[in-house]
Amino acid sequence: MVRFSDRANSIRPTGVRRMFDLAGDDAIQFGLGEPDFQPPPLAIKAFSKAMEDGRNKYTTTAGLPELRKKIAETWHHRDSNLDESNVCITMSGTNALLDIFLALVNPGDNVLIPEPYFPLYPTDVVLCGGEANMYPCHFENGFVPTIEDLESRINENTIAILYNFPSNPTGGNVTEEQRDKLVKFAQENDLWLITDEVYDKIIYDSEHVSFLGAGYEKVIMINSFSKTFAMTGWRIGYLLSPDLEAMGQLTKMQYYVTACSNDAMQYAVLEALEKASDYPAEMCAEFKKRRDLICSRLNSMPNVSCNIPTGAFYVFPKFDIPGYNSEELAMKMLEGGVLCSPGTAFGQAGEGHLRFAYTICQEDISRGMDRVEEIILKLI
């Protein structure tokens, strides 16, 4: 008899993937959150050179010291005490997330997770034996939780809270004042504060508001070069914490998950950080034009309202189309040649919403929005 674990049997593919698999070739792709740019050319050259130079071996588990030092320096404006001992290179943000829950969660523990959520969060917590304790992030509040909502969810088994700003899927972001309240909540309840800041370089109109260096040391950050340098396929990211005991435990988990990251690639990322630090801003200028375009198109459509995100490359508009839930609406969009994700792919709190990733050119965004408008007009 073929037998698989209850763990594997209980997990379903994400709604984002399911829609992607159903889409035809002519669908306009607002589905996947991956920049349509290539990594900086000098990083590609450095990658190839490092391989030719024989950098094709295991590295230490925490990664190349020069790269870790450089990463720590990029955060000195938030915490000048950081050095390489506060950084562990991982094979992506995805890998970093798993390390964190492996290191923190015991059976019976729960972790406060934002809803709508990046689909890996609750599943990873469950895979590590814990429970995902969802807190809502409402459209009306710019997708930032209220302290009352957090207080109503926390219980004696809550060990950590995860914040994700700018957010996937909502594009929601915090002001410094909101951040300070959220940090205070974690501190007062002695929770680990896990902060997913993989979109820290895709920021519009203002500076990134980090949870690092905000007066609380029990913080673990997930970050990644997937979005920063358009390196989604390379699979490289990092964990960072001011807490050295946490770094020791996280690095131990990293060893058992992948042993170490990719040798040559770490030299390429170092080159990008040293010589292409303007690259994310160039990408961001283009994303900002796309954001303005997609938001103005969506907000001009009947029965649709869309917040204007200040970071990441997603919009999460609300659709008020009687008789259609978000899954059915996403299917109607697909039939009309538009691939987007149903809001419920990111939890029940996403009902009534669709997620559009604006990681395609402005011309395609315009064509896609013409189709969305036509579909909406037929349905209302």
Ligand X SMILES: Cc1ncc(COP(=O)(O)O)c(C=O)c1O
- DSSP-based three-state secondary structure for 170: coil
164 and 170 in contact (C-beta within 8 Å)?
no
Q: In what helix (H) or strand (E) does residue 348 lie, and over which residues does it extend?
A: none
Residue 192, both tokens: 């680990």
User: From the CB of 182, what's the least distance to ligand X, in Å?
Assistant: 16
Cis omega (within 30 of 0) for bond into 166: yes
Cα 274 versus chain centre, distance: 24
User: From the CB of 91, what's the least distance to ligand X, in Å?
Assistant: 8
Q: Does 116 bind ligand X (CB under 6 A)?
A: no
Residue 313, both tokens: 């490359």
Buried b (16+ CB within 10 A) or exposed e, 36-67: bbebbeebbebbeebeeeebeeebebbbbeeb
**Residue whose entry in the numeric block shows the structure tokens 């934002």:** 114
Q: Which of residues 125-144 bind ligand X (CB under 6 A)?
A: none
CA distance 137 to 139: 7
Q: Does 94 bind ligand X (CB under 6 A)?
A: yes
Amino acid code (one letter) for 194: I
- Phi, psi at residue 238, to the nearest 5°? -160, 165
Size of the site for ligand X (CB under 6 A): 13
Beta strands in 44-130, from DSSP E residues, in sequence order: 87-90, 110-115
Contact residue for ligand X among 198, 209, 372, 376 (CB under 6 A): 198
Contact residue for ligand X among 47, 75, 118, 143 (CB under 6 A): 118
User: From the CB of 123, what's the least distance to ligand X, in Å?
Assistant: 13
Contact residue for ligand X among 61, 86, 92, 173 (CB under 6 A): 92
Stretch that binds ligand X, among 4-12, 15-23, 89-97, 281-289 (CB under 6 A): 89-97
The pairing of strands 237-240 and 304-305 is: unpaired
User: From the CB of 164, what's the least distance to ligand X, in Å?
Assistant: 5
CA distance 329 to 344: 11
Q: Which of residues 16-35 bind ligand X (CB under 6 A)?
A: 33
Closest CB to ligand X among residues 93, 343:
93
Closest CB to ligand X among residues 59, 95:
95
Stretch that binds ligand X, among 92-100, 123-131, 142-150, 356-364 (CB under 6 A): 92-100
Closest CB to ligand X among residues 27, 100:
100
- DSSP-based three-state secondary structure for 353: strand
Stretch that binds ligand X, among 52-60, 74-82, 87-95, 350-358 (CB under 6 A): 87-95
238 and 223 in contact (C-beta within 8 Å)?
yes
Q: Which of residues 32-71 bind ligand X (CB under 6 A)?
A: 33
Q: Does 101 bind ligand X (CB under 6 A)?
A: no
x-or-dash pattern for ligand X, window 153-182, by CB under 6 A? Answer: -----------x---x--------------
Closest CB to ligand X among residues 11, 377:
11
**Residue whose entry in the numeric block shows the structure tokens 């899927």:** 169
201 and 208 in contact (C-beta within 8 Å)?
yes
User: From the CB of 94, what's the least distance to ligand X, in Å?
Assistant: 3
Q: Which of residues 224-253 bind ligand X (CB under 6 A)?
A: 224, 226, 232, 237
User: From the CB of 196, what's the least distance to ligand X, in Å?
Assistant: 5
**Contact footprint for ligand X (CB under 6 A):** 33, 92-94, 118, 164, 168, 196, 198, 224, 226, 232, 237
